[in-house]
Amino acid sequence: GAVVSQHPSWVICKSGTSVKIECRSLDFQATTMFWYRQFPKQSLMLMATSNEGSKATYEQGVEKDKFLINHASLTLSTLTVTSAHPEDSSFYICSGGQGQGEEEQYFGPGTRLTVT
Amino acid sequence: SQQGEEDPQALSIQEGENATMNCSYKTSINNLQWYRQNSGRGLVHLILIRSNEREKHSGRLRVTLDTSKKSSSLLITASRAADTASYFCATNGAGNMLTFGGGTRLMVKP
């Protein structure tokens, strides 16, 4: 199957700083990328959907000014957590899809963010 | 938001036994997918079943889908210790968005 990478795999940052997480589709063009957040022992919650070249669509309750998403190319999407707080500590997972329709999404390995 | 419920939330079995996990959802779907996640890792796609399909097999996995009851089941036969993981169902609706169930944590004891 197609491969999605994330960088970094884990990051520790201080409260108030910003952190950028990259999501890359390595062997396919991801017209749509999705960002999820997963708290310990919980399921994945969709945060936002981004289409290449357009603004992201955020799920209800997700602050778009806090979680900045950029999908500048068909192989790269970034999530920036601005002014991070300890409650933002979570596992962030991205996935990519190749287009419209009933399709499999390809998931990245996730990024563990810890805010101290 | 989570659409579905999965049960059981946790399941502990002996190696060699079968494991059955169930998933229920609320709205109409294009397809339903099952994923596996090892602790602290990303998701691995296991199987996709379309809304017009009732059953699908892949190796030791068997998935059923009942759209009238809005439910699906995942059966893992002859389980192995390496099957220990969390299993999630996800429904695919409009815009290719996936909505995940709460997950079942499976422990297979050697």
C-alpha A104 chain-centroid distance: 17
Q: Chain B neighbours among A 44-103 (CB < 8 Å)?
A: 44-46, 49, 59-60, 91, 93, 95, 97, 100-103
pLDDT for A30: 86
Q: Are A36 and A93 in contact (CB under 8 A)?
A: yes
Residues of chain B with pLDDT under 50: 1-2
CB pair distance less than 8 Å for A44 and B50: no
Give the residue from A2, A9, A18 showing the smallest Cα distance to A115. Answer: A18
Asked whether the predicted pLDDT for residue A37 surpasses 70, the reply is: yes
Please report, as a single letter, which amino acid is at residue A66.
K
Q: Smallest Cβ distance to A102: which of B42, B50, B102? A: B50
- What is residue B97's predicted lDDT score, i.e. its pLDDT? 80
Query: How far apart are the C-alpha atoms of B71 and A49, rounded to whole Å?
Result: 26
Average pLDDT score over residue span A68-82 = 93
Give me the pLDDT at residue B40, please: 83
Interface of B with A in 69-88 (CB under 8 A): 88
In Å, what is the CA distance from B55 to each residue of B17, B19, B32, B59, B63?
21, 17, 11, 13, 6
Query: Smallest Cβ distance to B43: which of A100, A101, A107?
Result: A107
- Residue A29 is which amino acid? Q
Is a pLDDT exceeding 90 seen at residue A20?
Answer: yes
What's the burial of B2, exposed, middle or buried (CB within 10 Å: 0-12/13-18/19+)? Answer: buried
B23: Cβ–Cβ under 8 A, 6 or more apart, which residues? B4, B5, B6, B32, B34, B71, B72, B73, B74, B89, B101
First and final CA of chain A: distance in angstroms? Answer: 36
**pLDDT score at A4:** 93
pLDDT at A101 over 80: no
Q: Which of the residue ranges A29-38, A74-83, B87-96 would you say has the lowest mean pLDDT?
A: B87-96
What pLDDT shows up at residue A99?
A: 63
Residues of A in contact with B96 (CB under 8 A): 32, 97, 100-103, 105
pLDDT given at position A100:
57
